[in-house]
Amino acid sequence: MAEHVDLEKRRQAVYGWLLLSPAAILLTLFALYPSVATFWSSLFSRGTRRRPSEFVGIENYADLFADPTFWKVVGNNLVYAGVTIPMSIAIALAMALWANSRIPARGFVRTAYFTPTVLPMIAAANLWLFFYTPGLGVLDQIGSLFGLPSVNWLGQPETALWAVIIVTIWKEAGFFMIFYLAALQTIPEDLKEASDIEGASRWTYTRRIVLPLLMPTTLFIMVNALINSVKLIDHLFILTKGGPNDASKLILYYIWEMAFAFFDAPHAAAMTILVLVVLGIVAGIKFSYLDKRTHYQ
Amino acid sequence: MTDPFVHMENVAKRWNSQLGVENISLSIPRGSFVALLGPSGCGKSTTLRLLSGLELPDEGQITIDGRNVTLAAPSERNLSMVFQSYALFPHLSVAENVVFGLKVRKVAAAERREKLKRALDITGLLGYEARRPGELSGGQRQRVALARAIVANQPLCLMDEPLSNLDAKLRASVRKDIKKLQVDLGITVVYVTHDQTEAMSMADMVVLMKDGRIQQTGAPEDLYYRPANTFVAEFVGAPPMALIDGRILPGFPGAATIGLRAENMRLADPGTGRLTCHVSECEFLGSETFIGLSHPAASGLTVSMPGLKHIPTGEEMEITFADEDLHFFDEGGLRLLQPTGVSA
């Protein structure tokens, strides 16, 4: 008897490992190992022909913290995230609530909102480049109709980052709207009816019932938006290349520049590790604190 | 009670010219328990939703408590509603669910607490205030929905199949609770169900519907003993009334169809019965056994026998019955008060 049980247990264990292994192998190969390797290489100096790479501990990190460009980029990224995340979520929610109500041409409205998401990043960026171009661009053409002077939106430090922010919001809001639309459809119709019977206004219903029930989606979108905000690079290649004077440079672009334009891999690695740490902390907060306060159906 | 509390006059609701309900006229006295009964798709839920204001009628007039509310918003009709799915807000606690409407109506906090306590006390939910609906059993959720309906003390309560998500045992006990609640609070209840046992046992007045039209309105015993047509006869009662082709029973020339209830049928000795049938099935119910009988000119013939009986399928059986227990219907299926030419 006991032998059978033992055998069965062992077999279950083997099954368990077999089921686990694809994910474990892939994650180790493409997530865990690179992270550790990046961390490791961030502790060494840049090797040149004359001076081979050597262990320098946290010196690379110290360099970064002393680098004004790094702080500029961090600041840019904070502004970028701080504006794009709430704005795109708010717009996505508004569009979803509208596209979910009984309006004519609902299918068309949804498709129209979703189109920016379908466009490849580079194509979308080129499109906006055309909007922003001084003189020729659509914005300037419209402006000139009203006698406004030509503005080089992407070419001046005061407006470059904002121009990039607007492109991101335009692109992300439609994408997030799809999640909100899906979530709205899981809210049973009779909740609205129950609150109608109780005499709740549309606004009360939205605030007290719909928004709380959308919280899981909002959380999901927030994490996605945050990750996107440190992942943005393609727009910058087309629109500003981080300029002028680093005014629109974001962290991933700076990492790329560090690694492949300045060939300073250790500093790029150190920056990557810092980004990972920040994202890890945010994920920790999400899973420990916000999840408990969110109702999952 | 000359003035009915709720009155529907020739109400109709159609969707894309497709039939919803048609020609609904209904008077409900104050403090009564009315069941809207019928098979699925018969328009009973639509009728309830028209009363609630969740749907607006295309024709006709609805008055509640002397006020014309035909086009009024649900919240202006002074009523509460229990949904089939309960429609509890999943992210709110039991207490928050119950007082949701009071909060919307800006009832003061102290009064809200008091009403909440009373409603939870009545429904036996004290101690569950902080739970979420997801942490409650089906029966408890159902009681939360009831508590939410009674907390505001509205004179009219609409219930849309409130027991259909409960298991059979619980259903029987909640049925009694709801009836007691209605009597104690003195409220008027309009109750939608497809379960005739619910309708017959709880209601003072049953409205039986089919295909968007009212078939018969009356006390449960009216529907049972004086069915207005063959549909009512076949729908009400378990087992349903057997319908016999009038031509095979001599002596009732005006009756196209003759109805007969199981309890009025007796087995007869061979040669003395009025109908000769074959056994088609035996259904054992504990205290009695229903023996299903087949006859080429009749449907739904069932005879009830005490205790456990096992009669082989196909066996011949003769049944007999008294003339005064028969129900007569004309060609259109409508009840005949007196069959012409009764031989008596």
CA distance A295 to chain B (A): 6
Residue contact B54–A199, C-beta within 8 A: no
Q: Which residues of A121-160 are buried (b: 16+ CB within 10 A; e: fewer)?
A: eeebbebbbebbbeeebebbeeeeeeeeeebbbbbeeebb
- Which among A190, A198, A212 is the nearest to B100, CB-wise? A198
Q: State the average pLDDT for chain B.
A: 88
B227 has a pLDDT exceeding 60: yes
Measured CA to CA, the distance from residue A293 to residue B5 in angstroms comes to 46
In A, residues 73-92, which contact B (CB 8 Å cutoff)? Answer: none
Measured CA to CA, the distance from residue A270 to residue A272 in angstroms comes to 5
> In this prediction, what percent of chain B has a pLDDT beyond 90?
42
CATH number listed for the domain at residues B6-230: 3.40.50.300
The predicted-structure confidence for B6-52, as pLDDT tens digits, reads as follows 999 999 998 876 778 988 999 999 999 999 999 988 889 999 999 99
Query: Domain boundaries in chain B?
Result: 6-230, 238-336
pLDDT confidence of residue A160: 86
Q: What SS3 state is found at B301?
A: strand
Q: Quick check: do B6-230 and B238-336 share a fold? A: no
Chain A touched by B273 (CB under 8 Å): no
Chain B touched by A280 (CB under 8 Å): no
Measured CA to CA, the distance from residue A55 to residue A42 in angstroms comes to 9
Q: What mean pLDDT do residues A257-262 have?
A: 88
Residue contact B73–A193, C-beta within 8 A: no
Q: What mean pLDDT do residues A97-110 have?
A: 82
B341 has a pLDDT exceeding 60: no
Residue contact A197–B73, C-beta within 8 A: no
Measured CA to CA, the distance from residue B186 to residue B188 in angstroms comes to 7
Q: Scanning the structure block, which residue is given the tokens 């002028």? A: A244
Residue contact B132–A295, C-beta within 8 A: yes
Chain A touched by B74 (CB under 8 Å): yes
Q: Which residues of A30-43 are buried (b: 16+ CB within 10 A; e: fewer)?
A: eeeeeeeebeebbb
Instruction: Count the helix, strand and coil residues of chain A and give each as a percent rounded to the nearest 5.
Output: 75, 0, 25
In A, residues 169-198, which contact B (CB 8 Å cutoff)? Answer: 188, 190-191, 193-198
Cα B178 from chain centre: 14
Q: Which class for A182: exposed (0-12), middle (13-18), buried (19 or more C-beta within 10 A)?
A: exposed
Phi and psi of B332, rounded to 5°? -80, 0
User: In chain B, whose CA is at the least distance from the CA of A199?
Assistant: B75
Contacts of B148 in chain A (CB under 8 A): 194
B167 has a pLDDT exceeding 90: no
Measured CA to CA, the distance from residue A165 to residue A152 in angstroms comes to 16
Cβ neighbours of A108 (radius 10 Å): 11
Question: What is the distance in angstroms between the CA of the first residue and the CA of the last residue of chain B?
Answer: 41
Pairing of strands B205-210, B288-295: unpaired
- Which among B83, B89, B105 is the nearest to A199, CB-wise? B105
The predicted-structure confidence for B42-93, as pLDDT tens digits, reads as follows 889 999 999 999 999 999 999 999 889 999 999 889 999 999 989 999 999 9
Measured CA to CA, the distance from residue B216 to residue B2 in angstroms comes to 21
Ordered structural domains, chain A, with CATH: 72-293 (1.10.3720.10)
Single-letter code of the amino acid located at A235: H
Q: Is the ipTM of this complex over 0.85?
A: no
Polymer length of chain B:
344
The CATH number of domain B238-336 is 2.40.50.140: yes
Residue contact B52–A197, C-beta within 8 A: yes
Residue contact B105–A190, C-beta within 8 A: no
